[in-house]
Structure 1
Amino acid sequence: MYVDVFEVNNGDLYLLSGYVLNLIIWIFALTRIIADKQHKRLFLLLGILVAIILVVLPATVLAPVLLIFWMSYLAESVTEKRLWLSYLLINFIVMVLVVMLGADTQAIITTLSFVAFQLFAISSTLQAKELSQQRDTISKKNLELITTQSLLLQTSKIEERQRILQNLHDGIGHQLTAMSLHNEHALQCIKLGKTVEIDAYLEQEKSAIKDTLLTLRQIVKQSRNTACLDLEVAITAIASKLPNLAINYTSQIVIERSALIEDLIYSFQEGISNAIRHGQANVIDITIEKKDATASILLIDNGMLDKQKNSTNSTFGSGLIGMKERLSHYNAQINLSKNQNNGYTLTIEIPLTQCVTDNLDVNY
């Protein structure tokens, strides 16, 4: 059993042409053929106008169903306030035209019934939209949690290493300093007695103690310098929790500054989150290269460009603003541009002088 649209609409060729036109507009509005957001809205408006014309024609039967589809699409495309204003305005126009064209009571009741069906379609779409937003929020929070866990794991190891180093410093460094002072005092006393043999011995001992102190300083300094966060470890941890995403990481530069590494990790997390949620990317390349006196950091995704562009621009804008604020302390330059993979490239450029560790000299 099938429905012959041509027969249902009393063999009206104009109505059938209207249905075909509406279908073409629907395809253009819902597919990636039209990538520009303004053009999509134009097709949405055109489709609703064609549907209204079909609805008010006297011979039409199936046209009211078209308005249900368009209302569902409208709920995805505009804010909730504009949606309800459009819903009231469109149906007010339809009812006025139906009455003015002399429709009977049955036709008016049928039209009102489809107005109610539109409400159901709108509410279903809004619920799906809300669930999608909640899923995106959960996904972003989960990524933030993964990033934070990775940082905490590394931080706990660093803190333990720092504790050992501090004990080494307090236990040996101060003792050696005291020995140096005592021996120097003994040396002065012996000099008064002109004991040459002991004097030579104490000179050697003093030199050895100073060498030991110098070695201790170097060990503490080197250990502190290596006790920093690791970008690759954090990125690997993030990738391991996202099975549908491949992250390729390469670096020609060793970034030693822990604070910068932490801020970069959170910036990467924001970029990865946007690429997944808005562009459905499944491959992200992260590279760190040396370019003159600058560390050039690239995050390249293969996401769908039009979906990222037509996602919430405010989300993308706020994400970039957050990165710029986070990395402003390092004189960083940040840019977001299209790439050949039909996705986006996030570029972060930081002076090499900002990538080295802070001065950690040890004084006794």
Structure 2
Amino acid sequence: MPSPFPRRALLALGALALTLAGAAHLASRRRPASERWGGPLRPAPLVSRGKPVASSPPGGAVLVDGAYRTGAVWCGGHPTPGAPAWVAIRVGRGPRRLLLSWSSSHNHDYDDVYYGAPADYRIETSSDSRDGADGHWRTVVQVTGNAVHARAHSFDFRGRRWVRLVVTGLPARVNPWGLFLDEVDLHDLSGGGDDVWLFLGDSITAEVFDRAPAHQPSFAEAIARAHPGYHPATLAAGLCNAHVEDLVRRIDPLLAQNPDVRVVAIGIGSNDNPPAPFRAGLAELVRRIRAAGRIPVLARVPFQTKYPFDYAAPLAAGVDQVTAEAGLLPGPDLYGWFRDHPERIADGLHPDDQGAVAVNRAWAEAVSPLYPP
């Protein structure tokens, strides 16, 4: 049956279709790389460093000095509801929303709390306090039964000037000296900032992301240097001897506990074998993180020297497979880096201090596409 359209019209329609298809392809290629991976992340500037501090007991100024996991910690004793320990930071006017993160970094695993992490605490804000102790205070966050050594909480700060962390209880099993905090960071989320990271993994994660002086520049500092205006909030959730199934089992409560986390950076596999169930567990972990609206990124399993054979190679290949199948931003190649630098492996498995710095740097370089050019 002859076409109802003249041949010239058909040719014109075909040319138009080709033009539109070409334009769409070109537009997709021109789309910023950050959008392909779930970005770009929005900045969450760090605004607490060097701010005026009041505390009871005294000594709270060390909490805003930028030094993590050092001997300079705030010792809060054994607080109770009737005699709490508190630290107040004068932020000043300006931010409309803040994220407060605290760390008790002398604990190793994320769920270690013996060395001074609080169990019961609240966060308060004030618009009229003059010294961090007087004035009217509004409770914006209340936590009971905390069981990890670092947390982050966001809250409204419109019209306020002071933030106060008030600790009212410690875990049932705690060191004889009581509360130890090494840093309290405040990030400005007024512009919708979501540059908040959870580093999830095994003992390597627990050690290299503790932000100790020997592990500087940390991931956050490396990002701040490479991307002006950015300074990520980070939580290190490493678990000694963890396997991928441990992370799958814990990921849902971890994400619920940390609702402000946007990116989950995963370093797992050094304790796993065989490769097939490892890949399946990794794929399930990625699925759950995405279902929660977060961005997963996987590091290639680091090369090891503790065995007479290449233990990590098939596991690193499994990371590659899951990354490709899920269309993820490729994470850092820790397998390749430590294979080329075995002298930076301290005990056949864990990085030495220079190796830890290299891991932080590799992560910052790998995830650069999540940030605007």
TM-score, length-scaled by structure 1 = 0.23
Structure with more of its chain in strand, by fraction: 2
TM-score (ref. length: structure 2)? 0.22
Determine which structure has greater relative contact order: mean sequence separation of CA pairs < 8 Å that are 6+ residues apart, divided by chain length. 2
Tell which structure's C-alpha radius of gyration is larger. 1
